[in-house]
């Protein structure tokens, strides 16, 4: 049985609570958050909670699941045994950012999380890193208890992976927002685009993104591109032009 204390109550922490709560051989002994109000949804699961770092219980692994820029300072406030394994869940923060002489590691779930949206954690890739082999074994057991997709990723790989994830998730979602805004402005239901969005995502399960690319930018269809630009406000026009140039440059040898 691996005893876990979870430090944080945000989106990632909430989904980890749900996953650990139903996992075999995992004992989620406590969840910490700065504010009581942040713990209300967690307390419903009858899990021990605290807002006081002096009250942290003993555990095999302490998982920091808070904002990236707060990890270093927060880890320095932990009043636990210095020989304890402390990991964070960030994709972009270095493992060494964890302060004090703790045994350090990373437990990075590569997924987009919202508290309101349930997710099957078994499908979530978990990227692991640790200073010591014995700690990597512990993290692998912990990860395998909640996910069927476990990877050993070093800091440099994880940093690159996080950048790639921003492109395929955060930027893509913002483009959905722009598409929805354009639909709303012209009184067209955004739902019309949803099958296209789904097919675009499904297509790269069988094709590489390079081979799956379609559209006026790939064809260098200047007439269509010009008409699109004429319809757009300046802020969207800039995004459209930049992406169009990138796609055209990617396929210029095929034109």
- Hey, where are the domains in the chain? 2-153, 158-254
pLDDT on residue 45: 67
pTM, 2 dp: 0.87
Q: Does domain 2-153 bear CATH number 3.30.1330.30? A: no
- Strand order of the β-sheet with 126-130 is 49-50, 26-32, 2-7, 61-64, 85-88, 103-109, 126-130, 150-152
Mean model confidence pLDDT for the chain: 93
Provide the H-helix boundaries in the chain.
11-22, 40-43, 71-75, 133-144, 155-165, 172-185, 194-203, 209-212, 216-219, 222-231, 234-250
According to the model, what pLDDT value does residue 51 have? 94
Separation in Å, CA 27 to CA 34, 191, 234, 237: 22, 42, 53, 52
How many Å separate Cα 154 from the centre of its chain? 17
Which CATH superfamily does the domain covering 158-254 fall into? ProC-like, C-terminal domain (1.10.1040.20)
What is the per-residue pLDDT across 78-105, written as a single tens digit (0 to 9) for each?
A: 989 889 999 999 999 999 999 888 999 9
CA dihedral sign of residues 146, 151, 154, 156: negative
Q: Each residue of 174-217: pLDDT tens digit?
A: 999 999 999 999 999 999 999 999 999 999 999 999 999 999 99
CB 68 within 8 A of CB 92: yes
* β-pairing verdict for 2-7 and 150-152: unpaired
pLDDT at 40: 79
The DSSP H or E segment spanning 109 is: strand 103-109
In degrees rounded to 5, what are phi and psi of residue 159? Answer: -60, -45
Structure tokens, 250: 């990617």
């Amino acid at each position: 049985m691996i005893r876990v204390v979870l430090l944080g109550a945000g989106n990632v922490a909430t989904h980890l609570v749900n996953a650990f709560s139903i996992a075999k051989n995992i004992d989620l002994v406590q969840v910490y958050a700065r504010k009581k109000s942040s713990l209300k949804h967690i307390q419903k699961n009858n899990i021990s909670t605290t807002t006081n770092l002096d009250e942290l219980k003993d555990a095999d692994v302490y998982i920091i699941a808070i904002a990236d820029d707060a990890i270093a300072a927060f880890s320095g406030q932990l009043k636990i045994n210095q020989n304890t394994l402390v990991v964070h869940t960030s994709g972009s923060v270095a493992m060494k950012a964890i302060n004090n002489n703790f045994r350090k590691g990373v437990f990075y779930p590569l997924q987009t999380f919202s508290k309101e949206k349930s997710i099957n954690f078994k499908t979530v890739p978990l990227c692991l890193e640790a200073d010591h082999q014995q700690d990597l074994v512990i993290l692998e057991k912990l990860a395998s208890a909640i996910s069927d997709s476990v990877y050993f990723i070093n800091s440099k790989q994880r940093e690159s992976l996080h950048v790639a994830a921003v492109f395929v998730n955060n930027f893509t979602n913002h483009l959905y927002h722009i598409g929805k805004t354009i639909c709303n402005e012209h009184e067209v239901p955004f739902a019309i685009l949803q099958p296209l969005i789904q097919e675009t995502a499904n297509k790269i399960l069988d094709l590489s993104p390079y081979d799956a690319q379609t559209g006026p930018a790939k064809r260098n269809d200047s007439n269509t591109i010009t008409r699109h630009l004429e319809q757009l406000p300046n802020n969207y026009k800039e995004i459209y032009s930049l992406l169009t140039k990138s796609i055209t440059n990617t396929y210029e040898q095929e034109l």
